[in-house]
Structure formats: C-alpha cells, structure tokens
C-alpha cells in the first residue's frame, strides 16, 4: 500500500491531490493522510497543501525495503534482503542461493565488516556506500560466464552516468573509475559443475557518500560525493543501477558479449598501451591490442605472438 503511494507521488513530479491518490490506491483520504504521516516519520519529505494535495520533496538516503522497493520497476530486487550490517553481502547471498533463492534476489547492507574484493583483497565498506549482491541463474555453460562481469561493470557505469551525469570509465576487466580513480568494483562468484551453472553471485560495491579512505587505498580510490561535490541519493542510484544491470543481463543471456563490445571498448583507456598483466599463471608484458568477442584482453607479446587473457590485473607501463 505504502509502496503504491510512494510510486504515485514519484510519478506525479509535482502535486497530486488526496482525492486522486485515494482513488488510485483504493483507500479513503483519511487513510492516505495517515500513510503520509508514517512516510514522513520514515524520512520522506512530503509537502501537503489543502488545495493542491501532496508533493514528494525528498527521499531519505536509506536502503531499507520501504524506501527502495517502490523505486524498483523490473525484476531485480525481488526478493529484497536488507541488513544494516553484514560481514559480506556476497556471503549472505551465497547462503541464500544454496537454499534456492530465485534470480533477481538482492542482498544489501548499509555497511560490511568483512567486505571482499577481487584477488582476496579487503573491500572498504563503511556506511554511505552501495554494497549489494545479486543472485543470477544464467542458463549457459560455465565457460561462457567470464564476460558477465564486464557486462555488469558496464551496466554500473551506465547507471552511475544516468543518475549523476559523471562519465565513469572502466578498467579491464571490471573496475569502475572516475577521473582515473576507482569508484566501484564487482566480485563475481560462481557455483557450477562441468556443464551447468548453479548460480552466480555478482557482488557490487560503489563508493557513494563518504570522502575519506584508509591510507592504502587513498591514492587510488574515490567516491561519487568526492567527484560530484555533493551527496547522491543512494536509493535513486540503486534503482538506476539495478535497471541497467537487468537490461544488460537479459541481453547478455540472449546474445553474449558481442552487443556490448563497442560500448565496453569506448569506456576503457587501455588499447594501444604497453601493459603488464598479472594473471593466475604469472605476469606478461605486451601491447594491449583489443577486447575480443568473449571479453578477453588480446595482448601482443614482444615476440610477435598474441595471447588472450580472461582475467587478471593490468597495469599500464610508462614510456
Ligand atoms: C573489486 O575488488 O573490485 C571487487 C569489489 C566488490 C565489492 C562488493 S561490495 C558488495 C559485495 N560484497 C562483498 O564482500 N564484495 C562485493
């Protein structure tokens, strides 16, 4: 009920009369008033005028279900699990996925006490960020899952851009950057057997409304607030990102990486540069030549040979 009222207020983009709300939602005008009072107590700023009705002024910067779910238009975020604090949303999502949670399930926390990054790193996750995990059940062979995290990182960049106007770039395979500093990342974890994916947990972190970082990441990290100069409404950001994630995921399930290749390549500032690529088997030096139709980095080695990397950590070499 309250969700429908919030949606009506959001869609109105101005005042909406009490009579209209009561007719649309199917409750009395007195009941509308009571819900409005409760929403105000929950942090929504709502203007009330005896002649014009109600107008939504501000959404609280909180990620609980009452605030976020009315903003969700698609299937991602259903069901929606919110916790104030978790060790890692990926861990909780994996437990839920093992217990049969459906595609589109989202786990979100205001803060993580043991947030995990790629390559076993710690992921700094204080209150004010966007830390969540998405459960997916793609019906494709495990070997083809690799490009999914690239496609999801592109979706995060597109969602951030749509909401803030800032233009994030990407660092292969799936770091999201603003002015060369890391603003977000994705940790994709897969449960599969030889020819079948049981589930994918895509853990996504975006530094939003905080501006200080631990010393070890301070030189390379940034946040949306630091880059845009003001606080960003996290519920709106979250809904914009979930829409992009869902759009990209559906297309990827149907057609794989090729439809995203051009947009992805436009966001990385890597091709044509001399790089060092550390991957599980060692470090390779070469020229970053291309991103292929599977999302792999094509590297030209000094001996003229070409190699393709599915994952790794790439550093641009000076000179
Ligand atoms: C990276 O190293 O770039 C990946 C960072 C992924 C962080 C997110 S925050 C939500 C989810 N839960 C985690 O523990 N990690 C991911």
**Atom of ligand 1 at shortest range from CA of 205:** 9
Rounded CA-CA distance 32/12 in Å is 15
Rounded CA-CA distance 281/119 in Å is 13
Q: 286: exposed, middle or buried (C-beta count within 10 Å: 0-12, 13-18, 19+)?
A: buried
- State percent of the chain over pLDDT 90: 85
Confidence of residue 275 (pLDDT cuts 50, 70, 90): very high
CA of residue 184 to ligand 1 center, whole Å: 8
User: Taking residues 148-168, what's their average pLDDT?
Assistant: 96
Nearest alpha carbon to residue 227 among 242, 246, 241, 206? 206
Is residue 94 domain-shared with residue 221, that is, in the same domain? yes
CA of residue 186 to ligand 1 center, whole Å: 5
User: Taking residues 186-201, what's their average pLDDT?
Assistant: 95
Nearest alpha carbon to residue 290 among 282, 280, 298, 301? 298
| Structural domain boundaries enclosing 245 | 65-266
State the pLDDT at residue 319: 62
CA-nearest residue, atom 3 of ligand 1: 185
User: Taking residues 203-228, what's their average pLDDT?
Assistant: 97
Is residue 242 domain-shared with residue 117, that is, in the same domain? yes
State the pLDDT at residue 256: 96
Is residue 194 domain-shared with residue 99, that is, in the same domain? yes
How far from chain centre, in Å, is Cα 293?
A: 23
CATH number of the domain residue 306 falls in = 2.30.30.100
Is residue 41 domain-shared with residue 164, that is, in the same domain? no
Nearest alpha carbon to residue 44 among 84, 14, 10? 10
CA of residue 93 to ligand 1 center, whole Å: 12
CA of residue 54 to ligand 1 center, whole Å: 39
Confidence of residue 152 (pLDDT cuts 50, 70, 90): very high
CA of residue 11 to ligand 1 center, whole Å: 33
Which residues are near ligand 1 (CB < 6 Å)?
Answer: 88-90, 112, 115-118, 121, 123, 125, 131-133, 175, 185-187, 203-205
Could you give the number of structural domains in the chain?
3
Count the neighbouring beta carbons within 10 Å of the beta carbon of residue 84.
11
State pLDDT tens for residues 18-44: 999 999 889 999 999 999 999 998 889
Rounded CA-CA distance 21/190 in Å is 45
- Please give the DSSP secondary-structure letter assigned to residue 296: P
Residues in the chain: 319
> Does the reported pTM lie above 0.85?
yes
Is residue 79 domain-shared with residue 98, that is, in the same domain? yes
Is residue 118 domain-shared with residue 252, that is, in the same domain? yes
Rounded CA-CA distance 124/137 in Å is 28
User: Taking residues 178-193, what's their average pLDDT?
Assistant: 96
The strand order across the sheet containing 181-193 reads: 80-86, 106-112, 130-136, 196-206, 181-193, 175-178, 169-171
CATH number of the domain residue 164 falls in = 3.30.930.10
């Amino acid at each position: 009920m309250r969700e429908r009222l919030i949606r009506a207020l959001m869609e109105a983009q101005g005042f909406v009369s009490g009579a209209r709300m009561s007719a649309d939602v199917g409750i009395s005008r007195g009941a509308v008033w009571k819900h409005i009072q409760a929403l105000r107590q929950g942090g929504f700023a709502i203007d009330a005028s005896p002649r014009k009705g109600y107008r939504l002024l501000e959404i609280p910067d909180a990620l609980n279900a009452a605030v976020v779910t009315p903003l969700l238009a698609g299937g991602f975020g259903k069901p929606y699990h919110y916790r104030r604090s978790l060790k890692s949303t990926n861990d909780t999502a994996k437990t839920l996925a093992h217990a049969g949670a459906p595609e589109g399930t989202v786990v979100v926390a205001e803060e993580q006490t043991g947030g995990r990054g790629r390559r076993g790193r710690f992921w700094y996750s204080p209150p004010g960020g966007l830390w969540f995990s998405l459960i997916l059940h793609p019906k494709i062979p495990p070997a083809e899952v690799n490009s999914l995290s690239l496609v999801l990182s592109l979706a995060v960049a597109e969602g951030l851009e749509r909401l803030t106007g800032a233009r994030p770039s990407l660092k292969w395979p799936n770091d999201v950057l603003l002015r060369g500093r890391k603003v977000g990342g994705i940790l994709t974890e897969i449960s599969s057997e030889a020819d079948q994916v049981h589930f994918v947990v895509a853990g996504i972190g975006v530094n939003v409304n905080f501006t200080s970082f631990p010393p070890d990441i301070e030189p390379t990290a940034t946040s949306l607030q630091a880059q845009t100069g003001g606080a960003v409404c996290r519920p709106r950001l979250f809904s914009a990102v979930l829409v992009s994630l869902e759009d990209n995921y559906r297309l990827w399930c149907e057609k794989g990486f090729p439809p995203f290749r051009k947009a992805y390549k436009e966001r990385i500032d890597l091709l044509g540069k001399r790089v060092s690529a550390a991957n599980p088997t060692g470090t390779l030096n070469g020229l970053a030549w291309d991103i292929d139709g599977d999302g792999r980095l094509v590297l030209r080695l000094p001996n003229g040979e070409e190699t393709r990397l599915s994952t790794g950590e790439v550093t641009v070499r000076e000179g």
